[in-house]
Amino acid sequence: MPKIKIVTDSSCTMEVSEREKLGIHIVPLSVMIDNVVMSDDDSLSGEAFMQLMYKAKSLPKTSQPAIGVFADLYDKLAEDGSEIISIHMSEALSGTVSAARQAAQLCKASVTVIDSEFTDQSLSFQVIQAAQLALEGASKAEILDAVEAVKRQSQLFIGVSSLDNLVKGGRVSRVVGVLSNLFNVKVVMEFVNNELVIQAKGRGMKTFNKWFDELKIEIQKLQNVHPIKKIGISHADGAELANYFKEALQALYPEMHIPVLHTNPIIATHTGKGAFAIMFYTE
């Protein structure tokens, strides 16, 4: 049976140790700050990017990987006869998955491309599941079924302190009308069916705290029907709030590893300073 290798893109936020242990291959997007193009790889940390973004004259611009970059990687990984499963951020957020699909048609390798319909650690949930099963020798069909199950049972919530970056990047066109006069409010949205849907909005940190209290209640209700398998928390220069969320969730799940990670430059560009995301998936 041919070996299966897993590829994703740099919007996939995960612990480096996990990525290396599972042999996951990352194709970096790029980000342009004041006409300087940088690769979104290990040389550009989320923390360092935030400092560059604060000093930039205009909002950084992100770009998907070139088709040729995908094709070259696919062919290289397939030299030993391996098949490839390539899992990427939602097509609603980026053309990355489309570039991967085009590359899969051009290269000689056997490549299956998946739109995760998520990003950040929600994307990593699918990628990690696929990589773990691949190492265990699971078939491609088994891996694809498992990835689909994780996707189906995932939820991703995003909190932003300002909509400025999302509006400038054209990511919240459907909510601008609702919040046109309230750009300075705190907003929590759920990314569902490839759209950002408002869950809570208001002035001050009490908006986040009230929403989080309600989320904890919903999570506890879920536990009786669909137990939570994994939780991830990401932030954009907002470690204090993210760690507060972790402490509360860790009390509910003392045995679970809940990573708190700075999000990647691709996501931070659009969310801006102080944003957070809480993601989980259930059985």
pLDDT in tens, 20-43: 999 999 999 999 999 999 999 999
Burial code (b: 16+ CB inside 10 Å, e: under 16) for 95-132 equals ebbebbbbbbeebebbbbbbbbbbbbbbbbbbbbbbbb
- DSSP helix/strand/coil, 174: coil
Domain residue ranges of the chain, discontinuous segments joined by +: 4-29+64-152, 154-282
pLDDT in tens, 136-152: 999 999 999 999 999 99
CATH class of the domain at 4-29+64-152: alpha beta
The reply to whether 4-29+64-152 and 154-282 are identical in fold is no
Average predicted confidence (pLDDT) for the chain: 91
pLDDT in tens, 212-233: 999 999 998 888 888 999 999 9
pLDDT in tens, 150-209: 999 999 999 988 766 666 655 555 454 345 345 567 889 999 999 889 899 888 889 999
- DSSP helix/strand/coil, 192: strand
Q: Is the pLDDT of residue 274 over 70?
A: yes
Q: Which of 16-20, 105-109, 195-199 shows the lowest per-residue confidence on average (mean pLDDT)? A: 195-199
Q: Could you name the CATH architecture of 154-282?
A: 2-Layer Sandwich (3.30)
Q: Is the pLDDT of residue 242 over 80?
A: yes
pLDDT band at 1 (very low <50, low <70, confident <90, very high): low
